[in-house]
Amino acid sequence: MIKMNDITRDGNPVLRKRAEKLTFPLDPKYLKVADEMMEYLKNSQDPKIAQKYHLRAGVGLAAPQIGLSIQMASVLVPGPDDEIIFEETLVNPVIVSQSVQVAALDEGEGCLSVDKEVPGYVPRYDRITIRYQNVEGEEKTIKLRDYPAIVCQHEIDHLKGTLFYDHINKKDPFSIDDNAILIG
């Protein structure tokens, strides 16, 4: 079971490296990693388990965040009534198209690997199409918008060695395109 002390923190060089592509069939150790990353997300979103194990809630976890420089990220996005909007482990994900429309979370973004609050808007694409493989190696293409699209862009950034605050305007953290959508 992944716990908070297993999460790689900002400052560790693995978070700034471009992660390696995976080949299929996946090594059994990477299948276990995929299961453990999704288990962390589920546990972190369950208030009783999260409190018991002192887990910070997360909707995404990329392999570099647990010290592995591989192109794998798990995403678990709940909806307003706790139904799951998007649940998948993405292997070798690539954004193949994106909208012109910019969006940002109205309260900014956070990250399990960043222990401090970094205020500011993180401009992202409102709609994206991602091509990836699931853990069985099946090629998938999915279109996402709004919050799930932002979550996936955040996780894919981890696979490129980018952290969310790299996107924040350093001079004016809360400046954003006039036509941007703020998602809250």
Q: What is the pLDDT of residues 48-70, one digit of tens each?
A: 999 999 999 999 999 999 999 99
Single out the residue of 124, 34, 118 nearest to residue 76, CA to CA. 34
Residue 124: how many other CB atoms lie within 10 Å: 27
User: Please, what CATH class does the domain formed by 2-180 belong to?
Assistant: alpha beta
Tell me the mean pLDDT in the region 106-123. Answer: 97
Report the pLDDT value the prediction gives residue 146, as an integer from 0 to 100.
Answer: 97
DSSP H or E stretch at residue 183: strand 181-183
131 Cβ partners below 8 Å, 6+ apart? 93, 94, 96, 139, 140, 141
pLDDT at 81 over 90: no
Domain ranges of the chain: 2-180
Return the structure tokens found at 176.
């954003």
Which tokens sit at 96? 């193949």
pLDDT digits (tens, 9 = 90+) for 13-56: 999 999 999 999 999 999 999 999 999 999 999 999 999 999 99
So what's the pLDDT on residue 80?
A: 86
- The answer to whether 152 is a known ligand-binding residue is no
Q: What is the mean pLDDT of the chain?
A: 98
Please tell me the predicted confidence (pLDDT) of residue 124: 98
C-beta of residue 104 within 8 angstroms of C-beta of residue 121: yes
SS3 15: helix
Instruction: Give the helix/strand (H/E) hosting 147.
Output: helix 146-159
Do the annotations mark residue 167 as ligand-binding?
no
CA distance 152 to 147: 9
- Predicted confidence band of residue 88 (pLDDT cuts 50, 70, 90): very high
Residue pLDDT, tens place only, 131-154: 999 999 999 999 999 999 999 999
Asked whether the predicted pLDDT for residue 74 surpasses 90, the reply is: yes
Active site residues: 155
- The amino acid present at 77, given as its one-letter code, is V
pLDDT at 66: 99
Cα-only R_g, the chain: 16
How many percent of the chain have pLDDT more than 90? Answer: 97
In this prediction, residue 161 has a pLDDT band, given cuts at 50, 70 and 90, of very high
